[in-house]
Amino acid sequence: MTATLPGARRLPPASPADPALIDAFRRCAVANISDNLERLSAAVGLRPFHAGGTMAGTALTVRTRPGDNLAIHQALDLVRPGDVVVVDGGGDVSRALVGEIMKAIAQSRGCAGFVIDGAVRDADAFARDAFPCFARAAIHAGPYKFGPGEINVPVSIGGLVVSPGDIVVGDGDGVVAFPAEAGPALLEATRRHEEKEAEILRAIAEGRYAGAYAKPGA
Confidence of residue 2 (pLDDT cuts 50, 70, 90): very low
Which pTM was predicted?
Answer: 0.92
Domain boundaries, the chain: 19-205
Confidence of residue 40 (pLDDT cuts 50, 70, 90): confident
Task: Please state, in angstroms and rounded to a whole number, the distance separating the CA atoms of residues 84 and 166.
Answer: 10
pLDDT for 216: 55
What average pLDDT does range 173-193 have in this prediction? 97
Q: Phi, psi at residue 28, to the nearest 5°?
A: -100, 145
User: pLDDT, tens digit, for every residue of 115-133?
Assistant: 999 999 999 999 999 999 9
Confidence of residue 47 (pLDDT cuts 50, 70, 90): very high
Q: Phi, psi at residue 47, to the nearest 5°?
A: -140, 160
pLDDT for 112: 98
User: Does residue 206 sit in helix, strand or coil?
Assistant: coil
User: pLDDT, tens digit, for every residue of 148-178?
Assistant: 999 999 999 999 999 999 999 999 999 999 9
Q: Where are the beta strands (DSSP E) in 65-132?
A: 83-88, 96-98, 113-120
pLDDT for 212: 56
Q: Are 113 and 55 in contact (CB under 8 A)?
A: yes
Q: Where are the beta strands (DSSP E) in the chain?
A: 47-48, 55-64, 83-88, 96-98, 113-120, 133-138, 149-151, 155-157, 160-162, 167-171, 174-178
Confidence of residue 208 (pLDDT cuts 50, 70, 90): confident
Return the CATH architecture of domain 19-205.
Answer: 3-Layer(bba) Sandwich (3.50)
What average pLDDT does range 75-90 have in this prediction? 97
What average pLDDT does range 24-43 have in this prediction? 92
